[in-house]
Structure 1
């Protein structure tokens, strides 16, 4: 596993790679696009299991601005909003695939949550990308009517209205002594039975520069993700796999009906939307099974 920093669409970006997806003699490559928050560290266990079980080189990409990077300008939202909304995130992912992933390689795309919507949008105007596809896995996909979901209503009715308060709380946390923040996060991890290694990942989430971009993207999702991109789904239905959760307040199982086509295998599981916290291996096993049918 490697942690790499590259500049994509003018934003320095933290990538996590297994094998060498950028130079692999044309071997198939897995590209995993995270949900929001787009902090790739949370996907390490999931990616490691996928790499181990498929033997394929792999790259995990989060979202522009959702990580702490050395380049200070890449951490600034004001005046650069166009780099961090959904349209900017599409260009961000497209530059990774077009300019870094081995150009001879076929692709297995994996999206989680809003990462699924980004995959469909990437395929909308990029025929060359569609021609490279071997498989697509849409995990707990937020593809339509996000603002109408239970969590979407919470974002619009509460988080959005108290945005300045949230930013103030981020600032307060950043001013607290490190020992106190670590202690409080440690309590959170114990309450929810999460591994201690998540401490450093959550500290990234609590960074004010990261937090404001997570919220900025979330609001754009509420305003933008409305209609299902049926046209693209029809084009990729023969090599697409979809997983929904019976307890998902971002992508309710009732939304499965909009996607239903005989050619698209869909599975309903009892796993949290944020599967990377506790169910990485289980979901990786399901994704591996599908990828292996397309090799």
Structure 2
């Protein structure tokens, strides 16, 4: 009986210890990192970007997320936490530079467009990803365009084990309903900035309630409100304009070269793309792993858990070899 009690105690203690360890692994850290002289918000689960790898002497797996525009990292926290809990590896996200204002500082003088934002991600990768790391890149929306551009850099392509593209904006944006609407209304951007500024200066209890009335989840309200800051909104709108001009022809060469690493998830009725993009892609690349889903383009609003489960399965799959 005494032995049985000891065993039960040991098992209970071990279970509690594992829970404590899991909680410590799940700790979120956030801070601004200077990338090419621009303060850039980085959010992590697991170790911070400058900490030593937790497992010395072994290959480290890192999940790196390249967000949409607006690239607020806050939207992705539930998604990141799930991936981190499943794999106990660092999960990092790099915001678009200039889309968050450091406390006590001004916005950068230069507004960064799509090419500059991509260059920021390349610099971050080169500066903070260890030489022997195995990286899973996850792009969302126009972040998928940035991921494909990053894969053109040999030092990055060599370290990337897989690239997971969620609701990818990688072609024909001017032909999608939302892209056409955005292009048509570009001349009214000053009016949009003014209206959202009025919203921004309202007491948060009022503006937050109004956003919730439009079915915005409460967890996302602070990150949307921060986007309404006119200084931030100008940065976001420049990237949006660049998307329409620069993301039109699909880069088949980088897809073909990395087809064994790529996984893509599309959304039915995604207004950002012409409806034929998914079928046309698979006609050109029948061996490419791409799936259609019922999720919304901004999946983090309602479907973080479901999309994280899908990505988790992709991460666990063996890498096929087609070419």
TM-score between the two structures when normalised by the length of structure 1: 0.91
Correspondent of 2:38 among 11, 28, 39: 11
- Conserved 8 A contact 1:114-1:141: yes
| Distance across 1 between alignment mates of 2:48 and 2:313 | 20
Q: Which runs of no fewer than 5 residues in structure 1 stay unpaired?
A: none
- Conserved 8 A contact 1:21-1:58: no
Q: Which residue of 2 aligns with 1:89?
A: 117
SS in 2 for 1:170: helix
| Distance across 1 between alignment mates of 2:69 and 2:213 | 23
SS in 2 for 1:209: helix
SS in 1 for 2:258: helix
Higher RCO structure (Cα 8 Å, ≥6 apart): 1
CA RMSD of aligned residues (A): 1.8
- How many correspondences in the alignment? 284
Matches within 5 A, 1:1-295: 1-20=28-47, 22=49, 23-24=52-53, 25=56, 26-70=59-103, 72-73=105-106, 75-77=107-109, 80-81=110-111, 84-124=112-152, 126-158=153-185, 160-174=186-200, 176-178=201-203, 181-192=204-215, 194=217, 196-260=218-282, 261-294=285-318
- Conserved 8 A contact 1:17-1:57: yes
Q: CA-to-partner distance for each residue in 1:1-37, whole Å, 9 max, x for gaps?
A: 1112111122101111011263324411010010111
| Distance across 2 between alignment mates of 1:21 and 1:285 | 24
Q: CA-to-partner distance for each residue in 1:224-257, whole Å, 9 max, x for gaps?
A: 1111011000111112110000021113442123
Q: CA deviation at 1:294?
A: 4.3
- Conserved 8 A contact 2:216-2:301: no
Q: CA deviation at 1:39?
A: 0.5
| Distance across 2 between alignment mates of 1:252 and 1:294 | 32
- Conserved 8 A contact 2:44-2:93: yes
SS in 1 for 2:30: strand
Q: CA-to-partner distance for each residue in 1:105-147, whole Å, 9 max, x for gaps?
A: 11100000000000111122x1111111111100000000111
SS in 1 for 2:130: coil
- Conserved 8 A contact 1:4-1:17: no
| Distance across 2 between alignment mates of 1:257 and 1:130 | 27
| Distance across 2 between alignment mates of 1:110 and 1:262 | 22
Q: Which runs of no fewer than 5 residues in structure 2 stay unpaired?
A: 1-27
Change (3 A) 1:2 1:162: same
Q: CA deviation at 1:103?
A: 2.7
| Distance across 1 between alignment mates of 2:35 and 2:147 | 17
| Distance across 2 between alignment mates of 1:104 and 1:143 | 29
SS in 1 for 2:161: strand
- Conserved 8 A contact 1:245-1:252: no
TM-score between the two structures when normalised by the length of structure 2: 0.83
Deviates more, 1:256-265 or 1:43-52: 256-265
